Amino acid sequence: MRIDTPAGSILCDPWVNPAYFASWFPFPDNSQLDWETLGQVDYLYLSHLHRDHFDAKHLKRFVSKKARVLLPEYPTSELEDELRELGFTDFIKTVSEEVIELDGGLKVMIQALTSPTDGPIGDSSLWVEYDGVRLLNQNDARPTDLATFEALGHVHAHMLQFSGAIWYPMVYELPQAAKTAFGKQKRERQFDRTWRYIDDLKASHVFPIAGPPCFLDDELWKFNDIFGDEGNIFPDQSVFMKEYAKVGGNNGVVLLPGSVTEITATSIETTHPTDVDEFFANKAAHLEEMRERKRPIIEAEKASWRHPEIDVLKEMKRRIEPLLEESIYLAKGVGGPVRFDLVGYDGDSVESIVVDFPGKEVRRYADEKVRYRFRTERALVEHLLFIDEVDWVNSLFLSCRFSAARIGQYNEFVYAFFKCLSEERLQYAEGWYDEHQRTTDAEDITIGDWVVQRRCPHLKADLSRFGIIDGDTLQCQLHGWRFDLPSGRCLTGVGHQIRARRAGDPAPSTEGEKPEAAAPTA
């Protein structure tokens, strides 16, 4: 998206080239826009380092290095470092949630989210104001609420994600019926969350953006939402408009690559390069055409992944064991061995490697019970080791080029660890969990017949807004996590006990209580 005002233009997350082992492509295709012209901007905003937002090749080739970078306040300098490497030199280091005034009366504010589960150690939203017209590019960030933006005055344009951007549940080795049921639940939850954000901000106009991606490799083609599968987590903008209308929404605006919207405080006018309804009515044909056109790009990428000279076990040991040694919270949170089944070039032979979190070592699989099992091509892991990738979520897992099985509940620590394969990231994540576990959130609220802690044990959403009680279960609408209230047990993830009691029951004494361990596991 490019925001133009008389006081300057801001280019936001220009993503064109495929991401995550050539699995995700932008849809509709935006590669044929006039990027030479679009890249000549005054400001550049990169919300975070996920590769469907941070497209290094494109930034290097097309975006003016004179652009001033609006930098979110992140705990590590990785975003700035990567941009400097691409040739950007002028950085405006913003302070999270502080409005700054740029030349010509253009005002911006960036809210940075910094938990280890937000993007690759950080995700953000950009608020912009010019001449009384306000815009929020919430993107795919998930703040607990939008109060900070609301407080700055009525917003005219609210851009936010509404579709899926994850591997769940498709990659799990489950019966198809279960996958469909989980996918359906997820799809509904994504929309519910979107309605909640829209309702929070009550902007004049709502723009569904930041996804869904499309999948053009034959192996991943099935993930496109063109088969009428109610469990598909990647609904597109036209589905958004239909669902939004069902909940009374009538201010949605769909943008295609090349669409232009002009907004004032009282008016909006949008022009499109082609008819939007007709475009989505022919979605399958557009995808087919793209698939043929992009095939050589996918083939070229695939040819670069194999590195037979790499001894995967030895390299994983060298890279991962020192981090296991240092890890307290994440290792305890994972609580068991995680197995990688690496399928050889012949498509048949399998090398099984275990990352043993309690034993703090990487070794061959020894016929034991494991907490998670991932199955993927050996070549992909060879490539990760070859390029020294520190974030396997922002590469392997988001590629969806793997299958997974797990015993028990979702375990966020597994993924948090594999996105922190560097000293800097691991230390940050460990510190964050340490602080998070120590912060006892003492405030209670009453919802229906229950008194519960105000902040969600997952990522601290305000349960007076996001909590819904159904019988003895509380669901937090922000990410859909569920809690059994009589026992306080989290039904979605490991650990994360909630404090709850029936209204009318006396509050227990908390004197001498210790904060709960990061993740008690069996």
Residue from 456, 498, 500, 519 binding ligand FES (CB under 6 A): 456
Question: What minimum distance in Å lies between the beta carbon of 515 and ligand FES?
Answer: 18
CA 222 distance to own-chain centroid:
21
Evaluate whether 136 touches 47 at the Cβ level (below 8 Å): no
| Binding residue (CB under 6 A) for ligand FES from 106, 331, 459, 485 | 459
Residue 79 CB, nearest distance to ligand FES (Å)? Answer: 24
Stretch that binds ligand FES, among 99-107, 146-154, 183-191, 458-466 (CB under 6 A): 458-466
Q: Which is nearer to ligand FES, 199 or 441 (CB)?
A: 441
Residue 479 within binding range of ligand FES, rule CB under 6 A: yes
Spell 460-490 as b/e; 16+ CB within 10 A means b.
Answer: bbbbeebbebeeeebbbbbbbbbbebeebeb
Which one, 211 or 457, has the nearer CB to ligand FES?
457
Per CB under 6 A, which region of 205-213, 271-279, 340-348, 473-481 contacts ligand FES? 473-481
Nearest to 83 by CA among 70, 94, 95: 70
The reply to whether 287 sits near ligand FES by the rule CB under 6 A is no
Q: 401, 380 in Cβ contact below 8 A?
A: yes
Which stretch, 149-157, 366-374, 380-388, 475-483, contacts ligand FES (CB under 6 A)?
A: 475-483
CB–CB of 387/370 below 8 Å? no
Residue with tokens 């499309």: 214
Which one of 210-218, 220-228, 383-391, 452-460 is the stretch in contact with ligand FES (CB under 6 A)?
452-460
State which residue, 161 or 395, has the beta carbon closest to ligand FES.
161
Beta-carbon contacts of residue 417 (< 8 Å; ≥ 6 apart) = 323, 327, 330, 331, 334, 357, 426, 429
As given in the structure block, the two tokens for residue 398 are 């988001």
Length of the chain: 522
For residue 231, which of 294, 305, 297, 168 has the smallest C-alpha distance? 168
Quickly list H helices, 68-175.
78-86, 147-150
Among 476, 485, 490, 518, binds ligand FES (CB under 6 A): 476
In whole angstroms, how close is the CB of 221 to ligand FES at the nearest point? Answer: 32
496 lies in the binding site for ligand FES (CB under 6 A): no
- HSE-up of 112 (CA within 13 Å, CB side)? 23
Token couple for 221? 């083609």
* Beta carbon of residue 169, minimum distance to ligand FES (angstroms, whole number): 17
Single-letter amino acid, residue 346? D
Contacts with ligand FES by CB under 6 A: the residue count is 8
Of 260-268, 286-294, 328-336, 453-461, the window that binds ligand FES (rule: CB under 6 A) is 453-461
461 binds ligand FES (CB under 6 A): yes
* Minimal distance, residue 459 CB to ligand FES, in Å: 4
Q: Are 87 and 60 in contact (CB under 8 A)?
A: yes
Residue 336 to residue 490: CA distance in whole angstroms: 19
CB of 145 vs ligand FES, minimal distance in Å:
11
Take residue 203 and report the two structure tokens written for it: 């902007």
Stretch that binds ligand FES, among 156-164, 264-272, 296-304, 454-462 (CB under 6 A): 454-462
Q: Could you tell me the smallest distance in angstroms from the CB atom of residue 480 to ligand FES?
A: 6
Closest to ligand FES by CB, 26 or 164 = 164
Q: Shortest gap between Cβ of 492 and ligand FES (angstroms)? A: 7
Give the helix ranges, DSSP H, for 303-377.
Answer: 312-326, 329-334
Are 9 and 49 in contact by the 8 Å Cβ rule? The answer is: no
Confirm or reject binding of residue 113 to ligand FES (CB under 6 A): no
Is 458 among the residues that bind ligand FES (CB under 6 A)? yes
Q: 79 or 461, CB closer to ligand FES?
A: 461
Task: Enter the tokens of residue 380.
Answer: 């992909």
Q: Find the part of the chain contacting ligand FES (CB under 6 A) among 5-13, 62-70, 211-219, 476-484.
A: 476-484
Smallest gap from residue 465 Cβ to ligand FES (A):
11
Shortest spacing between CB 500 and ligand FES, in angstroms: 14
Minimum distance from residue 368 beta carbon to ligand FES (Å) = 32
* Tokens coding 445: 């609220």
Residues 6+ apart with CB under 8 A from 201: 136, 146, 149, 150, 155, 158
Contacts of 159 (CB under 8 A, 6+ apart): 1, 135, 136, 137, 138, 139, 206, 207, 209, 210
Of the candidates 41, 71, 478, 500, which one interacts with ligand FES according to CB under 6 A?
Answer: 478
Instruction: Report, in Å, the least distance between residue 46 CB and ligand FES.
Output: 25
**Of 288-296, 413-421, 478-486, 504-512: span binding ligand FES (CB under 6 A):** 478-486
Query: Which CB sits closer to ligand FES, 15 or 466?
Result: 466
Of the residues 310, 481, 495, 518, which one makes contact with ligand FES according to CB under 6 A: 481
DSSP three-state, residue 93: strand
Residues that bind ligand FES (CB under 6 A): 456, 458-459, 461, 476, 478-479, 481
